Amino acid sequence: MSFADLWRELEPVGRDPGTGGYRRYSRTPADAQGRAWFTARATKLGLAVQADNNGNLWAWWGDARENAIATGSHLDSVPDGGGYDGALGVVSALAAVEMLKDKGFNPERAVVLALFTEEEGARFRVPCLGSRLMTGAIDADSARALTDDDGVTLAEAMTAAGCDAGLLGPRPDLLDGMAAFVELHVEQGRALAPLGAALGLAEGIWPHGRWRLVFSGRADHAGTARFADRNDPMLPYASTVLAARRAAAERGALATFGKVIAEPGGANGVSSAVTAWLDARAPDEAALTDTVTAVRSVAEFSCEEHGVTLSVRQESYTPVVRFDERLRDRIAGVLAAAGVKAPVLSTGAGHDAGVLAARVPTAMLFVRNPTGVSHSPAEHADLADCEAGVRALALVLEDLAR
Ligand code: GLV
Ligand code: MN
Ligand code: MN
């Protein structure tokens, strides 16, 4: 099947008809549908699909379990995410293998397509959960105890999906058997369009993390409680949001509050608590630490002013990532020989490739995003660029697996 045909098949899975965005959260029916689709398409290509102990799927072309060349991405999404983030890498991997099979290529090393679980952390709040478990970047007990917004633990969700959460844990054997991992991904940001390049290569990923802030005050009546008598958690929360923007801008960093829950949520009441998630990223770890420290100190000061208590918890952290230079140079050489230019870009977006980079020589190929918008239904890549991405990935796999 062509890239376009595969794309059309996957397109409706988990798409919200109202917003046009994707709601493919892990261990939900949309997630199961995506996994079933991947399994069916990989099986049709003659690949042997295996689920690992962490909920990731691996589709093997070839029997050798040493020096394998891995590629792939994820199908889960952020709330109302775009169609390309993750899915482009999965569909391109299938299309690239089909292209290589059609031309009669026989890999000497195994080629394996990965489908990672919960890359976005949209449900259980830790991004790249599948790759973190596999590399040991998160321990199995902490992972099992992760909860979603309804209080369902990862262990419970896995059990409900027919998986054994008792088996979660690192897979050094799988990682040791990988000679390289190459993740193709839609560009997030807009660097390639002004350069007139359809494809790019990743240099590294900014260090980044998520912090949960709980501002606890006292519920009260919006029409009768005097300002002086209130302990309103919304006020220190509001100060903190503005401080985060300022602190990050001063340090060349980024800070975002994209999720907030006010309890109990009455329009005519002072909130009892406000829970908000700070996502912070910076070019280096010192700038990131500084930014978060500055945000925390404003939050603490403002909480004191309003008689509100504050608790802050780091929910995830990813140190700076530098992708393997030799692998990138090799890929650049393969592409240049085919007349494809691929500028090298740094990104603030997290990826399973970034987590795997701690254990395996890893590279990323980006496909131009003409508007740069991502984590949004407006995310887009032109079909011609996606097809160029598939051809490039096929060339890279052919070179690495030869
Ligand atoms: C993943 O897309 C992230 O960077 O949050
Ligand atoms: Mn994403
Ligand atoms: Mn992604």
Nearest ligand 1 atom to alpha carbon 120: 1
What's the 119 CA to ligand 3 centre distance in angstroms?
7
Atom of ligand 1 at shortest distance to CA of 78?
2
Q: Which pLDDT belongs to residue 304? A: 98
Evaluate whether 277 touches 257 at the Cβ level (below 8 Å): yes
Eight-state DSSP code of residue 312: E
49 Ramachandran zone, left/alpha/beta (phi>0; psi -120 to 50)? beta
- 3-class SS at 126? coil
CB-based contacts of 143-151 (< 8 A; 24+ apart in sequence)? 143/168, 144/168, 148/123, 148/124, 149/261
Overall pTM surpassing 0.85 (yes/no): yes
Whole-number average pLDDT of the chain:
98
Cβ 179 vs Cβ 108: under 8 Å? no
Q: What is the pLDDT of residue 92?
A: 98
The pick from 84, 117, 120, 187 for probing ligand 1's pocket by mutation, whose C-beta has the most ligand atoms within 8 angstroms, reads: 120
pLDDT value, residue 64: 83
Quick: pLDDT tens for 292-303: 999 999 999 999
Give residue 217's pLDDT: 98
Q: If pLDDT is split at 50, 70 and 90, which confidence band does 213 have? A: very high
pLDDT tens readout for residues 322-343: 999 999 999 999 999 999 999 9
Spell out which residues line ligand 1, taking CB within 6 angstroms. Answer: 120, 127, 349-350
Q: Which ligand is nearest to the CA of 74?
A: 3
Q: Which two tokens stand for residue 224?
A: 């009768």
Which atom belonging to ligand 1 lies closest to the Cα atom of 279? 5
Average pLDDT over residues 236-247: 98
pLDDT at 256: 98
> How does residue 190 score in pLDDT terms, banded at 50, 70 and 90?
very high
The confidence score (pLDDT) of residue 342 equals 98
Residue 77 Cα to ligand 2 midpoint, Å, equals: 7
What DSSP assignment string belongs to 245-294?
A: HHHHHHTT-EEEEEEEEEES--TTEE-SEEEEEEEEE-SSHHHHHHHHHH
DSSP 121: -
What pLDDT score does 214 carry?
98
Q: Which amino acid is at 33?
A: Q
Percent of the chain with pLDDT over 70: 100
What is the 328 CA–ligand 2 centroid distance (Å)? Answer: 22
Q: Average of pLDDT values for 242-261?
A: 98
Read off the pLDDT of residues 76-104 as tens digits, 9 standing for 90 and up.
999 999 999 999 999 999 999 999 999 99
| Predicted confidence (pLDDT) per residue in 29-62, tens digit | 999 999 999 999 999 999 999 999 999 999 999 9
Atom of ligand 1 nearest to the CA of 188: 2
Ligand nearest to the Cα of 208, by number:
1
> In the sheet that 254-263 helps form, which strands lie side by side, from edge to edge?
254-263, 273-281, 208-216, 309-318
| Residue among 293, 302, 289, 294 nearest 237 (CA) | 302
At residue 239, the 3 state secondary structure works out as helix
Q: What is the mean pLDDT of residues 169-188?
A: 98
Exposure of 100 by Cβ count < 10 A (0-12 exposed, 13-18 middle, 19+ buried)? buried
Ligand nearest to the backbone CA of 116: 3
Q: Which residues have CB under 8 Å from 176's CB, separation 6+?
A: none
Q: Which ligand is nearest to the CA of 185?
A: 3
Residue of 25, 188, 320, 364 best suited for mutating to test ligand 1, as the one with most atoms within 8 Å of CB: 188
Residue 218 has pLDDT above 90, yes or no: yes
* Token pair for 229: 């008598």
Q: What is the mean pLDDT of residues 114-136?
A: 98
**Rounded Cα gap, residues 111 and 360, in angstroms:** 15
Going from the Cα of 77 to the center of ligand 3, the distance in angstroms, rounded, reads: 8
pLDDT of 65 over the 90 cut: no
The number of residues in the chain equals: 402
CA of 365 to the centre of ligand 3 (A): 12
Report the atom number in ligand 1 closest to the C-alpha of 128.
1
Give me ligand 3 centre to Cα 151, in Å.
25
Q: How does pLDDT run across 346-398, given as a tens digit for each residue? A: 999 999 999 999 999 999 999 999 999 999 999 999 999 999 999 999 999 99
Centroid of ligand 1 to alpha carbon of 304 (angstroms): 33
Question: What's the CA-to-centroid distance between 300 and ligand 2, angstroms?
Answer: 31
What tens digit of pLDDT does each residue of 263-305 get?
Answer: 999 999 999 999 999 999 999 999 999 999 999 999 999 999 9
Question: With contact defined as beta carbons under 8 Å apart, do 42 and 49 qualify?
Answer: yes
- Nearest-atom number in ligand 1 for the CA of 349 is 4
Q: Please report the atom of ligand 1 found closest to the CA of residue 281.
A: 4
> In sequence order, what are the residues at sequence separation of 6 or more whose Cβ sits closer than 8 angstroms to the Cβ of residue 12?
none
- Ligand 3 centroid from CA 185, angstroms: 7
